[in-house]
Amino acid sequence: MSLGWKWFIEYQTPHSAHMHGIKRTLHSRRTKFQQIDVVETYEYGRMLVLDGKVQSTVRDEYIYHESLVHPVMFAHPNPRDVLIVGGGEGGTLREVLRHPGVRRAVMVDIDTGVIESSEKYMPELSDGAFEDKRTELVIGDGRKYVEDCRGKFDVIIMDVTDPLEGGPGQLLYTKEFYEAARRILKENGLLVTQATSTYYSTYCFATIYRTIKKVFGKAGGYHVWVPAYDSMWGFVYGTKGPDLKEMQAEHLDGEITKRKVEGLRYYCGEIHGSLFALPKEVVESMERKGEIATDAKPTFMPI
Ligand code: SAM
């Protein structure tokens, strides 16, 4: 079947994969933390790959980033101080800064290599967000930053690499981490995390949900189809007050206008509602009695 093209193959499980036809590899480097590749694909344009896992593509990254950022930002009555952990390519920061009410956006990423490679080969992802005067960029381990942090935030957004065994993000999906994060959230504060596939790693998604529920008491999950991930992608939130699920489409569209949040391509009131339509079996696996992720026993994706 080889059409003479080169293929990048992303494994979702040991027995299933997604193949991407690539025109050329623009950049490859190994840092202390991970393998970074930027490839030019036929279908999705430029694509950032970390440790063999697709992170973002120029063609569809906004679906992931808008779904990660805006539900919690609009659930909070007036988000001023926001912490982003991970998010190297700058798409999450870009979406946070769409909110004029934000006065401080702190982004903590462990690897300058990801920021440099993205800024060089995919600058449209951050779209100038790193130069915004509200941005504070910190290079370091998100776990340590949160544990040592003395300040407080309205919203914490976890845009970290998947929980892969031995990966740099594995201890950012545990009970101990979420307890530390909850401590630096103000009243009415919310945390959201990317939580892997609700289809081919439902177990991992459900474990992250149970873990956040254990720490926050009030929690929920939602998902969206991300074409380049070839899967429904899950997100889990924990809240000290406002609940994302309770927001009505009409009210939300009104808030988007009232708060002057401009440039959205995917997210709106109707889409918000659709994000929470989870299949029965996924809800059952979330609510089923089961293990939670701890430092001693973290949760991992199948591959
Ligand atoms: N959208 C992606 C996904 O769903 O897998 C995540 C994108 S973003 C590129 C992931 C970022 O997490 C990377 O830039 C990586 O360097 C960062 N990261 C991984 N472990 C980290 C840690 N312990 N502390 C801070 N950032 C970390």
By C-alpha distance, which of 268, 275, 267 is closest to 251?
268
Q: Does ligand 1 lie within 6 Å of residue 55's CB atom?
A: yes
Cα 220 to ligand 1 centre (Å): 22
DSSP track, 193-209: EEEEETTTTHHHHHHHH
What confidence tier does 5 reach under pLDDT thresholds 50, 70, 90?
A: low
- Judged by average pLDDT, the poorest of 178-187, 201-210, 251-260, 294-303 is 294-303
Cα 274 to chain center, whole Å?
18
Q: Are 222 and 275 spatial neighbours (Cβ–Cβ below 8 Å)?
A: yes
Strand order in the sheet with 16-30: 6-13, 16-30, 35-41, 45-50, 53-57
Task: Round to whole Å and give the CA distance between 209 and 242.
Answer: 17
The reply to whether ligand 1 has any atom less than 6 angstroms from the CB of 125 is: no
Cα of 38 from ligand 1 centre, angstroms: 15
* C-alpha of residue 142 to centroid of ligand 1, in Å: 9
pLDDT, residue 169, reads 95
Q: What per-residue confidence (pLDDT) applies to 290?
A: 85
Average pLDDT value for residue range 165-190: 96
Whether 162 is in the pocket of ligand 1, judged by its Cβ within 6 Å, is yes
Compute the chain's Rg from CA coordinates: 18
DSSP string across 140-206? S-HHHHHHH--S-EEEEEEE-----TT-TTGGGSSHHHHHHHHHTEEEEEEEEEEEEETTTTHHHHH
Q: Is 164 in the pocket of ligand 1 (CB under 6 A)?
A: no
Q: Is 65 in the pocket of ligand 1 (CB under 6 A)?
A: no
Q: What is the pLDDT of residue 302?
A: 80
- Residues classed as catalytic: 159
Closest CA to ligand 1's atom 1: 55
Average pLDDT of the segment spanning 46-50:
97
pLDDT bracket for residue 68 (50, 70, 90): very high
CB–CB of 233/197 below 8 Å? yes
- Atom of ligand 1 lying closest to residue 114 CA: 14
pLDDT over 90 (residue 170): yes
For residue 88, report the distance from its CA to the centre of ligand 1, in Å: 6
Scan for tokens 């340590």, then name that residue: 144
Q: What is the mean pLDDT of residues 136-156?
A: 98
Whether residue 88 has its Cβ less than 6 Å from ligand 1 = yes
Cβ of 85 less than 6 Å from ligand 1: yes
How much is the pLDDT for 19?
94
Distance of alpha carbon 120 from alpha carbon 66, whole angstroms: 22
Residue 303: pLDDT band (50, 70, 90) is confident
Give the amino acid at 152.
Answer: K
pLDDT given at position 6: 84
The residue-averaged pLDDT of 255-284 equals 97
Q: Write down the mean pLDDT value for the chain.
A: 96
Cα–Cα distance, 159 to 141 (Å, whole number): 13
Q: Give the containing element (helix H, strand E) for 211.
A: helix 202-216
Q: Which residues contact 292 (CB under 8 A, 6 or more apart)?
A: 175, 207, 210, 211, 214
Question: Ligand 1: does its nearest atom lie under 6 Å from the Cβ of 111?
Answer: yes
Residue 61 — left, alpha, or beta (φ > 0 → left; ψ -120 to 50 → alpha)?
A: alpha
Beta strand 219-226 pairing with 231-239: antiparallel
- pLDDT over threshold 70, residue 136: yes
In angstroms, the Cα distances linking 256 to 37, 75, 105, 261 are 36, 11, 19, 5
Predicted confidence (pLDDT) at residue 64 exceeds the cutoff of 60: yes
Measuring from atom 8 of ligand 1, which residue has the nearest CA? 87
State whether the beta carbon of 221 lies less than 6 angstroms from ligand 1. no
Question: What CA–CA distances, in Å, run from 207 to 150, 174, 211?
Answer: 29, 10, 6
- With the most atoms of ligand 1 within 8 angstroms of its CB, the residue from 160, 198, 232, 301 to mutate is 160
* Per-residue pLDDT at 65 exceeds 60: yes
Measured in Å, residue 114 CA sits from the centre of ligand 1 at 9
- Which of 12, 53, 110 for mutating ligand 1's site (highest number of atoms within 8 Å of CB)? 110
| pLDDT, tens digit (0-9, with 9 covering 90-100), for 271-281 | 999 999 999 99
Ligand 1 centroid vs 86 CA: distance in angstroms? 4
- In percent, the amount of the chain with pLDDT more than 90 equals 95
The residues with which 28 forms a beta bridge, in sequence order, are 37
How many other CB atoms sit within 10 Å of the CB of residue 105? Answer: 26
pLDDT of residue 1: 42
